[in-house]
Amino acid sequence: MKLSSAFRESDLARNIAANIARATTRRYNLMEFCGTHTVAIFRHGLRTLLPEEINLVSGPGCPVCVTSRSDMDRILFLADLPDTIVATYGDMMKVPGSGMSLSEKRARGADVRVVYSITDAVEIARANPASRVIFNAVGFETTAPSTAAVIRNARRESTDNFHILSLHKVTPPVVLALLEGGTAVDGFLCPGHVCSIIGSRPLEPVAGAYKKPCVVTGFEPADVLQGILMLVRQLEDGESRVDIEYTRGVRPEGNANALAAMDEVFCRVTSDWRGIGEVEATGLKLREEFASFDAEQFIDREIRSDPDPPGCQCGEVLRGEIKPTECALFAGACTPESPVGPCMVSSEGSCATYYQYAERTRK
Amino acid sequence: MCLAIPALIKEIDGNRATADVGGAMREISLEIIDRTAEIGDYVLVHAGFAIHKLEEKEALETLELMRKVFGQ
């Protein structure tokens, strides 16, 4: 799309950066909730365009990073079952469970296959009717509706050997949980594509009850800078609203069709977020009508999980309390090749992003 | 993981479409899109599913806002 490249013009970015510099009179901590934003900020070197007063803090918006160790242990348990193929996104392969990772399981003979999308996992199920195929379904609201659509189709087409372990999570309540716990964040750069689905309205309590301005922001360099400008202007004017920067991708009411698919297939349950703990009504579980597709049915015993490894500060990083570079393990004991915590595993984890973009040299 | 990319719809067959995603032709699903999309429309695609129909008008308005100079 020609319009996409227009949002990457460097003159446009410089103009917005100059607007930010002129608008900013105080120091602000702004949290980019979404890991895709963190990557965009580093890839385009946007921090170098910002005045010193703007402190960008990464949040818990990486679905791989917030997957708890006990959820990893459940998928690792499933990978050991006979006649079972586990299909997963590549990012989940190296996340350490209590014992090992999926990658290590595969090296020891488990049938673990990396897929690009859930539809590839369904194809594997169709091609292997004698095996049960379990898809490790991670992701926020951007991803959950596609899982819902696939499950509906699997029921219609009786793809009975296809199952999911739903690790899907919904995001607005976790922002409220962060705020309940107390935070130094002044405003939130909110995830554009999550809001393509849910709209901007679920964020209203953040701006209303907690008085933290929110700007729903796109992912091109100019979008991210414009989102920051819109946050600074609200803060400077003493206002607190939910604004949409990414109007071409988000409507206030969201995507009713996708939300209906999600609601038809999933109900809300308590979910365990790494670094944050259990948050009510943030997990998506298959409804009773779709229970035959739920891989939970194969977990027939209690799985004990070890506590997180000593020294790992993924929790503090995910809550925006410390920067990745402030963790004692960063770039020493914990690297993308040999990760200790999930924030160093995922390509959108804040530790991996800081590491890749050479902040390690500034330690 | 929450990245979605713009794609141009080239052909439609029921709930499936063929779309130009950055120069490569891909089959995508229209099952969970927010508004009806037609051939020639741009949509945001995430993991093989169109999730939003893009409007050029909104994109142009944003660009116009970004080109403004504030505070001088």
Tens-digit pLDDT profile for residues B15-35: 999 999 888 999 999 999 999
- Coil, helix or strand for A337? coil
Q: How confident is the prediction for chain B on average, in pLDDT?
A: 93
Closest residue of chain A to B47, computed from CA coordinates: A117
Residue B67, min C-alpha distance to chain A (Å): 6
Judge whether B23 lies within some domain: yes
Residue A1, pLDDT score? 55
Residue B12, min C-alpha distance to chain A (Å): 18
Cβ distance of A12 and B67 shorter than 8 Å = yes
Give the residue from B45, B46, B62, B63 with the most A CB atoms within 10 Å of its CB, the best one to mutate.
Answer: B62
Distance CA A293, CA A151 (A): 8
Residue A136, min C-alpha distance to chain B (Å): 14
A247-264 CB burial, b ≥16 within 10 A, e <16: bbbbbeebbebbbebbee
Judge whether B29 lies within some domain: yes
- Coil, helix or strand for B48? coil
User: Which pair of tokens denotes residue A45?
Assistant: 């070197």
Distance CA A268, CA A279 (A): 11
Judge whether B31 lies within some domain: yes
Task: Tell me which of A207-216, A262-271, B37-46, B56-65 is least confident.
Answer: B56-65
Residue A272 DSSP one-character state: E
Is B67 an 8 Å CB contact of chain A? Answer: yes
Count of C-beta atoms within a 10 Å radius of residue A357: 15
Is B47 an 8 Å CB contact of chain A? Answer: yes
Distance CA B59, CA A4 (A): 9
Residue A358, pLDDT score? 67
Q: State the CATH number of the domain containing residue B13.
A: 2.30.30.140
Nearest Cα neighbor of A253 from A191, A192, A201 is A201
Judge whether B72 lies within some domain: no
Residue B39, min C-alpha distance to chain A (Å): 14
Closest residue of chain A to B59, computed from CA coordinates: A248
Q: Which amino acid is at A128?
A: N
Cβ distance of B58 and A247 shorter than 8 Å = yes
Q: What is the ipTM of this complex?
A: 0.95
Cβ distance of A118 and B47 shorter than 8 Å = yes
Contacts of B34 in chain A (CB under 8 A): 196, 251, 254-258
Q: Could you list the residue range(s) of the whole structural domain that residue B63 is in?
A: 5-67
User: Which pair of tokens denotes residue A138?
Assistant: 């991670």
User: Which pair of tokens denotes residue A62?
Assistant: 């990486």
Judge whether B45 lies within some domain: yes
Judge whether B63 lies within some domain: yes
What is the total count of domains within chain B?
A: 1
Cβ distance of B32 and A16 shorter than 8 Å = no
Cβ distance of A219 and B42 shorter than 8 Å = no
Distance CA A139, CA A313 (A): 22
Contacts of A251 in chain B (CB under 8 A): 34
For each successive 10 residues of chain A (363 residues), what is the average pLDDT?
A: 79 96 97 94 94 95 92 96 96 90 96 94 97 97 97 97 98 93 93 98 97 97 97 98 97 98 98 92 98 97 89 91 94 91 90 82 46
CA angle B21, A345, A295 (to 5 degrees): 80
Count of C-beta atoms within a 10 Å radius of residue B4: 23
Residue A362, pLDDT score? 46
Is residue B70 pLDDT above 80, yes or no?
A: yes
Q: Which domains does chain A have, with CATH numbers?
A: 2-59+175-244 (3.40.50.11750), 69-170+255-293 (3.40.50.11740), 314-362 (no CATH)
Residue A116, pLDDT score? 87
Judge whether B42 lies within some domain: yes
Residue A327, C-beta contacts closer than 8 angstroms, at least 6 positions apart:
A311, A312, A313, A316, A317, A334, A351
Judge whether B59 lies within some domain: yes
Distance CA A93, CA A95 (A): 6
